[in-house]
Amino acid sequence: MKSVATLALVVALSAPNVLSAQVTRYVRFSHQSRAAYGILEAETVRELEGDLFASPRQTGRTFRLADVRLLAPCEPSKVIAVGLNYRSHLGDRPAAAYPGLFAKYPTSIVGTGADIVMPPDATDLHYEGELVIVIGRKAKNVSPEEALLYVFGVTAGNDVSERAWQRSDLQWFRAKASDTFGPLGPAIATGLNYDDLLVQTRVNGEVRQSERTRDLIFNVPTIVSYVSKYVTLMPGDVIFTGTPQTTRAMKAGDVVEVEVEGVGVLRNTVVAGR
C-alpha cells in the first residue's frame, strides 16, 4: 500500500493543468542508504549520476517512488529568504522599495516526510508556505533581464518561523534558522511559468494559505538580480520568495503540506523537541 505522502505527490504531479512536455522534476533520494539524484516521472524515479547542475547522465537504473525516501532536493551552500513579499501578508505596512532579505542556514533544510522539530522553549511556531528558487549557475551582478538564465528551477518550501523569537531577538538566528526550520521539496521543477503558480498551505488538511505567484511584489528575476548584487550565488543555493496572507501557530502532531503548482506536495509533521 502506498503511503499518504506518496499518494499526495502522485496526485499533485498528475494534475492536467500542471503537466507539460517541457516540465522536468528532479529529486534527490535515498535507496538502501545511498543518496542520488533522479528524474521523477509519475511513480518512477530515473537515477542520475554526476552533478545535477552540470549535465548529469542517466544510469539506466529506475526505482519505484514508493521504494525510495525523498530527501531535500538539493544541498545549498546558502539559504536566503525574502520577507513581506505579498501585499496580502503586509497588513498595514507599506510595500518596500527593494526586497527585504534574511538568511537561514543549510542545517535548517530537511526534505518532505521529515519532522519539523519544535524546540522545547518555542511558544509560537508558524508555517510559511513559499515558492523557492533553486540557482543553477554561478551568479554575481546579474541583471533582471538575464536572471532567469541562472535559475535551475523551483521547489516548495516552508519558512518555519518562531514569532516570539522574531519579536524579541536581536536577529532572526533561531526564529528562522533553527534545525528543521527549512523544509524543501519534494522536487525541483524546471520549465514552469514562475510568475503564475498557485502556492497553497494546508494544516491537517485545512487550507490556510492560497495565492498565486503573480501577486509577488518582487518576482523571481528581480529577486535573483537583487541578491546577486551582494552575494555570489552558487549552483544549488536557494531563495525563499516570501509567504502570502496570514499564518497561525502550529502544535506537535500537526501535519503541514505546502503545495506549489507543478512541483508537488511538501509534507512534514511537527514534533516536540527535547
Q: What is the DSSP string of 126-157?
A: E--EEEEEEE-S-BSS--TTTGGGGEEEEEEE
**10 Å Cβ neighbour count for 71?**
23
Whether residue 118 lies inside any domain: the answer is yes
Whether residue 38 lies inside any domain: the answer is no
Phi and psi at 198, nearest 5°, equal -80, 130
- CATH code at position 139: 3.90.850.10
Whether residue 78 lies inside any domain: the answer is yes
Digit-coded pLDDT (tens) for 172-220: 999 999 999 999 999 999 999 999 999 999 999 999 999 999 999 999 9
Whether residue 16 lies inside any domain: the answer is no
Residues forming a β-bridge with 255: 269
Question: What domain count does the chain have?
Answer: 1
- Evaluate whether 199 touches 191 at the Cβ level (below 8 Å): no
- Evaluate whether 116 touches 180 at the Cβ level (below 8 Å): yes
Chain centre to alpha carbon of residue 199:
11
Which DSSP category does 233 fall into?
A: B
Whether residue 111 lies inside any domain: the answer is yes
* Residue appearing with cell numbers 531535500: 72
**10 Å Cβ neighbour count for 96?**
14
Digit-coded pLDDT (tens) for 29-70: 999 999 999 999 999 999 999 999 999 999 999 999 999 999
> β-strand 24-31 against 69-70: which pairing, if any?
antiparallel
Give pLDDT, residue 91: 79
Cell of 51: 552533478
Whether residue 8 lies inside any domain: the answer is no
- Evaluate whether 105 touches 260 at the Cβ level (below 8 Å): no
Digit-coded pLDDT (tens) for 103-136: 999 999 999 999 999 999 999 999 999 999 999 9
Residues of the domain holding 177: 72-272
Whether residue 44 lies inside any domain: the answer is no
Whether residue 52 lies inside any domain: the answer is no
